Amino acid sequence: MSNNGGVPYGSDEPTSFGLQPPRPPAGVPHPDHVPHPGNPYAAPTQVVPEQHQPAQDPGAGRLIAGRYRLLSKLGHGGMGTVWRAKDETVDREVAVKEPRIPDHLPERERVNAFERMRREARAAARLDHPAVVNVHDVAVVDGQPWIVMELVQGRSLGDVLQEGTLGAREAARIGLEVLGALEAAHAAGILHRDVKPDNVLLGRHERVVLTDFGIAQIEGETNLTDTGGFVGSPEYIAPERVLGQRPGPASDLWSLGVVLYAATEGVSPFRRSNTPATLQSVLNATPAAPASAQGPLAEVITGLLQKDPARRPNAAQTRALLEKAANPPAPAPTQVVQLGGDGKGVRVGAKTLIGLGATVVAAVLAATYLVIADPFADEKPDPWVDRAHPRLGVTLSVPKEYQVAKPDADDTDKNWVTYSDYSGSIWVGVNVARKSEDTSNQIKNSAAAEMYADNEEFKATGSYDLSMPEGPDTQTEETQYKGKKAAENTVTYTTNDTQNPRPRELKIFYYKTSKGDMYKVTISYPGKGDFTERGREVAENVIADLDIKTL
């Protein structure tokens, strides 16, 4: 079971969701479009910010089983409410899940559901694996089992995917941890039956935790039609379960395949507008081949999404492919041959060197270092590429390995794009406000005016979406772009995260076209540490090489 009850903390939304790439605010792109929140400079990972909690939740202060004091609600889903609580016996905070069974169920099925929850909670408590949430206790209150578990400091994968996709290596790393949890459960005779992004927590120190080991399920081995429905997100349920067949380990592996597809492609492959259509797609639809996931990761996703469970790779085969995806072979190292001592170097391809006579090489490269590069490696250790976005009328030059987060084809807000490095420490975003869509005349008369307006807002209120407190340090400058007026602002601040404040720096470039469209290019990076100089270098190069077509 997830500490957030299967939904983002403090949310009343249902657990099932359609993954959407992030929408930035009107001013600047969203700062947290990053593949992985575990990086100390990426999105915050606190369980629940205190300022977002109500002063007093109904039921707060209640003592459960004589030892667990309910403090505040963390969230709730279809099967219960999750509380932050204090174990007064051992003086530690825990997560306590208050069960909730649908009222329409007959009494016999309600009793059976509670008994199944007790049995499976006790089974999950026996699992010993770092990727399995620790279940401390099952407290029976009025015949209902309250599940007491560790309070995981982290965000759900579901939350992260609402902000953007993961890189292939990071998705494979998380997949390996989830697979390990499933292997431990299967070895103990426990099926999870509800593997989905909301039940994968990304904690501190790169810990990955799989929650809800069957505890939230009420159908168990019963056919789906026995109760007229099921609990959970139908797009992650294996076809054999939809057909009412007895599930096995392969059913959990199917769900893992759907999670990996969603994590890298940015969309749940079987999600439709309603439950019946979703179930039909699970049974009959063939997802498009993965585009972002290549090689072993694409192979494992395609294999796990086979409709016939007998054709899916087993756990060992899945692990082998995920390990290859998480740890791709490093490029062949460059060999350096010292021919002299003046510290200069010349890069020559291997075939060129072989084609030259030894005497010629010695004469031309005397007193230098000869660098013999792998002929199959990139000529530059960190190549940049031009990324064209005709929809935005802009071409960006970014490091080749940066990952893109962009709107879906059916997203109504298509005026932005964001790139980030694998760690999530540095991100580059472009946002364009169209004059033709500016019905309330929000676009200022010039790039400088837009910059000064944003700057006043930063000074007065900060920016919630950037985790920026009010009164940051700013350096405004009126500049030029291709001989036309432009503006830049450099903003430095410390994020207002209560548990993990981090220094950040923003470089924002403003340009208004002759048609009245306002372009903002934002580069965000750490304000201190190893990534700071690299972030400033990225900002300088991105702005220098920016190509806006509609001047």
Read off the pLDDT band of 474 (50, 70, 90).
very high
Go through the domains of the chain in sequence order and give each one's CATH number. 62-150 (3.30.200.20), 154-217+233-326 (1.10.510.10), 384-548 (3.40.1000.10)
Q: What are phi and psi of 339, to 5 degrees?
A: -105, -5
549 is in an annotated binding site: no
Tens-digit pLDDT profile for residues 532-542:
999 999 999 99
Strand intervals (E) in 78-206: 80-87, 92-99, 135-141, 144-150, 154-156, 200-203
Residues listed for the chain: 551
Q: Mention every residue, 6+ apart, whose C-beta is less than 8 A from residue 424.
A: 34, 35, 36, 37, 39, 41, 42, 43
| Residues 7-44: b if buried by 16+ CB within 10 A, e if exposed | bbbbeeeebbbebbbbbbeebbbbbbbbbbbbbebbbb
| Residues 160-198: b if buried by 16+ CB within 10 A, e if exposed | bbbbbbbbbbbbbbbbbbbbbbbbbbbeeebbbbbbbbb
Q: When comparing pLDDT for 18 and 275, which is higher?
A: 275
Read off the pLDDT band of 461 (50, 70, 90).
confident
Task: State the pLDDT at residue 381.
Answer: 44
User: CA 473 → CA 348, 355, 393, 470, distances in Å?
Assistant: 47, 58, 32, 10
pTM of the predicted model as reported, rounded to 2 decimal places:
0.52
Query: Is pLDDT at 178 greater than 60 in this prediction?
Result: yes
Lookup: tokens for 274: 């309603």
Question: Is 316 buried (19+), middle (13-18) or exposed (0-12) by CB count in 10 A?
Answer: exposed
Tokens 């990139």 appear where?
A: 378
Q: When comparing pLDDT for 429 and 412, which is higher?
A: 429
Task: State the pLDDT at residue 305.
Answer: 96
Task: State the pLDDT at residue 368.
Answer: 35
Active-site residues, by number, are: 194
Measure CA 446 to chain center.
36
Read off the pLDDT band of 550 (50, 70, 90).
low
Tens-digit pLDDT profile for residues 136-159:
888 888 878 888 988 888 888 998
Strand intervals (E) in 151-257: 154-156, 200-203, 208-210
Tens-digit pLDDT profile for residues 340-357:
444 444 343 333 333 334
